[in-house]
Every structure is written in C-alpha cells, then in structure tokens.
Copies of this chain bind each other. A is one copy, B any other.
Amino acid sequence: MKGERKSINLGLIGCGTVGSGVYRILRDNAEAISLRTGCDIKVRRVAVRDLSDPRYVDVPEGELTTDALQVIHDPEVDIVVEVIGGVEPARTFILESISRGKHVVSANKELLSTHGGEILRAAEEAGVDVAYEASVGGAIPILLPLKYSLAGNAVDSILGIVNGTTNYVLTRMSEEGLSFSEALSKAQERGYAEADPSADVEGKDAAAKLAILASMAFNSRVTLDDVYTEGIAGITPDDIRFGRDLGYVIKLLAVAKDDPDGISVRVHPTMIPVDHPLAAVRDENNAIFVSGDAAGELMFYGKGAGSLPAASAVVGDIITIARNLLSGGRMAGCTCFYRKPVKDMADVICRYFMLFDAPDRPGVLARIAGVFGDNGVSIKSVIQHGTGSEARIVLVTHAVPERSIRSTVRGLEELGAVNRIASVIRVEDRDGEGCREG
C-alpha cells in the first residue's frame, strides 16, 4: 500500500452538526490537508436518516444513502466516520466496520464511555485503528496528548470543565447574579443549552467524558457507571456569593484521581480558588487540567462543542489514520493494561463548604460544632452572617471522608438546631488538602 495511494476514502455515518462540519473542513481546506497528509482525503459516501431532511452542507445526491451498511460495506471506503452519537445503532455500525477491516473515527462519548473496551478489543483483533478525540472536549486536543506526549508520566489527576452548557450557566450566575433557572433560560436563548438540558445539567454528559479521560490517563478501564454524578440545579446565588467571599469560584468539575488504593471518578459542583487556571475558564468554554509526575500541571483549553470545533477533532483523527495508512503504521490501541479498583464515593476525602440556616441563639453554634466533632470532622473556618432568626452559617471543613460528612448532615438534621442545610459543596484546593482519596 505504501507510496501507491492517491486518495483515502471516507464513509460518513451521520451528517448533522458534527458530520456537516467534517464535510465542510475536508472540502474547504482540501489543498492543505492533502499536502499535510500526503494524499487526498475524499468523502465517498454519506449515510443519513432521511434523504429529504434539510442539511447544513451541500452533499451531492450520489454520495447520499439512508443505508449505513452500504457505506460500511463499500470496499473503497478506508475509514468509517461515525458521527450519529448514542449507543445504538452506532455500536453495531462501528463493530461491523471493524469486522470489515475499516478504520474508525468516532465522536461518540455515550458509546466510548460504555462500550469502549469492547470496541477497542475488536479493533485490536482486526488490526485497525479507532480514534475518538472529538468525544471529549470538542476541538481541544487532549486524548492524543495524553496517549503520546504524556506517555512518560504517571498522571495523578484530571480536573475538567468538559460541559459548556453548565459552565455557561455557572458563569452567568457568578458574573450577573442570575438564578440557576434564569441563567439556564439565557443559555437556551443563546443556543448553549438544549430544550431538554437534563443530560448537561445533571452532569451525565461530563461523566461520560470523564470515563473516557480516566481510562486513557490511568491505563485502566473506567465506564460511565463508575462515575459518581451530581448536577448543578441546586446551586444558588447564595452559594456563589458566600463562596466568592472565601476566595472560591463554583464550577461543575469532572474529577479523576489515581491513588495507590484505587481510582476515583466524580462529577459535581466544586469550589476552586479564584486564582486556579480553571477559574478563568468562562462561559461555554471547556478546559482540562492534567497533573503528571514529570510534566507537572498542564491545562488544555478551547471550544468544547459546536459543528466546526468538534469536526476539527474528527478531521485530526482522520488525518492521523490516513498518514498511518500511507506509512504502514498504527495508532496505539487500548492502553488499559491495569485493572484498578474504582472507589466508593463515601471513601473520598474532601474539604466541604456548608451553608445552613440556624437561629442565632446562645449555645447553638456550640451544639452544631459538637455534631461535627462527634463525626470526626474538623472545621477550618466558620462565619455567621446575619442575626436572630435570619442567621446563616458558612462553614468550611478540613479534608475528611465523604462518609463523615454524610453522618454529620444526618446528625445536624436530628439536632433540630439547624433550620435548613442549604448547601454542601466540595472544595478543591491546590495546597494538597482539597479533595483526596482516602
């Protein structure tokens, strides 16, 4: 094959937001892409749901089909590009492509975070490449750097802002003082949130991306089900205001850590210091903060979604595979050599921010502090805001296991001296005493 090729042929499955972007990039930047790759890259066939659907890009009628298997079974197709999303039928299409000896590029976080192991094993057996840079962080190059540039490192932790919708909502809450629902409406108006925003708001989207990142960074398969997930619907302007007073910004963080006794993977609202590089990641932007034993702290920032940004990542994968087709090389396949346990959230050690309503009466603070002490939770700082029946207590703990916080919350509820526990938010500091794994 080496040196003989004039072109590499693609079969595109899906021509929606991402697929049309791929088509446009390959058309508009064809000359430079051809020079960089060493041959032309051509879209040969495009499978769509309905031929009469409106499309974001003009595709010649002869390239279109409603039968994905026609694309996959076309002997001239070298690389199948799956951009329909969701587990099925994407899984079946990809496995069928692999079994036909096709290389695969996918942008599918739902699939890779649930069936990544199965797909990479099949690819290994068939001797083909599967690349999926676009499944995490849109345009941001993160999987290639993790797998190649940082391959000399033991990666200790990953902190990601990997969902643009929730970052936009939290940024607007923080900068304009909006409530969650006001900010969400604004995100919907601007096109940063879907009509049904639940997958974003509840953290499911971020959890899928985290499973993919953690699997690659820690060389151990992590699936979506392993990820502890909390959304941002409960975050209030008070949380943001009191957090800011303490020097924190609230972000929906996807956190993965690799400790000697296991991996922890979790997505939840998190207070981070205002001078943390992730704190400056505003609006719909994404960023992934990686800590390696040799490289130290790195951050990768950019557009996490959108037609061309996601397509940029897909086309990067296509070019990488195309170069291998020409040189005879291969991408590194599955690198999950270890089987590291995933820890229970109750065992994770963290600092906690807590906000509660408690009447300002003599002895109340002492009784509250007693509950913390009984549960082994050391208090770092406590501030009372307001007086009388309006009094509110803002408290930050030292690092303690999550189970101790849970029992403390139960103890406070039983105590009766606390009217309402408004918020419990994890805190991630940079001094080593943020969230650690116990």
Chain A residues close to B by CB (< 8 Å): 21, 25-26, 29, 32-33, 35-37, 133, 139-141, 144-145, 148-154, 219, 275, 277, 280-282, 287, 292-303, 306, 308-309, 311-313, 315-316, 318-320, 323-324, 327-330, 332, 335, 337
Contact = CB atoms under 8 A, between A and B. Distances in A.
B219 A36 contact: yes
Contacts of A140: 298
Contact of A149 (B37, B141, B294, B327): B141
Q: A148, A309, A328, A337: which has the most chain B beta carbons within 10 Å?
A: A148
Q: A287, A300, A324: which has the most chain B beta carbons within 10 Å?
A: A300
Given A33-B151, A139-B292, 19 more contacts: A32-B154, A35-B337, A36-B219, A36-B335, A139-B295, A139-B298, A141-B144, A144-B148, A148-B316, A149-B312, A149-B316, A152-B311, A277-B301, A280-B280, A295-B303, A296-B303, A297-B302, A298-B300, A299-B301
B295 A309 contact: yes
A323 B129 CA distance: 14
A263 to B, nearest CB: 15
Contact of A139 (B25, B29, B294, B316): B294
A294 B21 contact: yes
Given A145-B141, A277-B280, A294-B308, A151 B37 contact: yes
A315 B298 contact: no
B294 A25 contact: yes
Q: A219, A302, A309: which has the most chain B beta carbons within 10 Å?
A: A302
A316 B35 contact: no
A294 B311 contact: yes
Count of this chain's copies in the oligomeric assembly = 2
Nearest to A319: B151
B312 A26 contact: no
A142 B139 CA distance: 14
Contact of A141 (B141, B313, B337): B141
A294 B294 CA distance: 32
Nearest to A297: B302
Nearest to A28: B293
A332 B294 CA distance: 26
A297 B329 CA distance: 31
A149 B295 contact: no
B320 A148 contact: yes
Contact of A335 (B35, B144, B298, B327): B35
A225 to B, nearest CB: 25
Chain A contact residues: helix, strand, loop or mixed: mixed
Contact of A152 (B35, B292, B315, B332): B315
Contact of A302 (B21, B29, B36, B295): B295
21 contacts: A29-B152, A35-B337, A36-B337, A133-B149, A141-B144, A144-B145, A148-B316, A151-B316, A151-B319, A152-B315, A153-B312, A292-B312, A294-B311, A295-B302, A295-B309, A296-B309, A297-B302, A297-B303, A298-B302, A299-B302, A328-B328
Given A150-B312, A327-B329, A29 B319 contact: no
A153 B292 CA distance: 28
Given A277-B301, A301-B299, A312 B294 contact: yes
B277 A319 contact: no
Contacts of A33: 151-152
A302 to B, nearest CB: 4
Contacts of A29: 152-154, 293-294
Contacts of A141: 141, 144-145, 148-150, 298
A35 B280 CA distance: 36
Contacts of A320: 148, 151
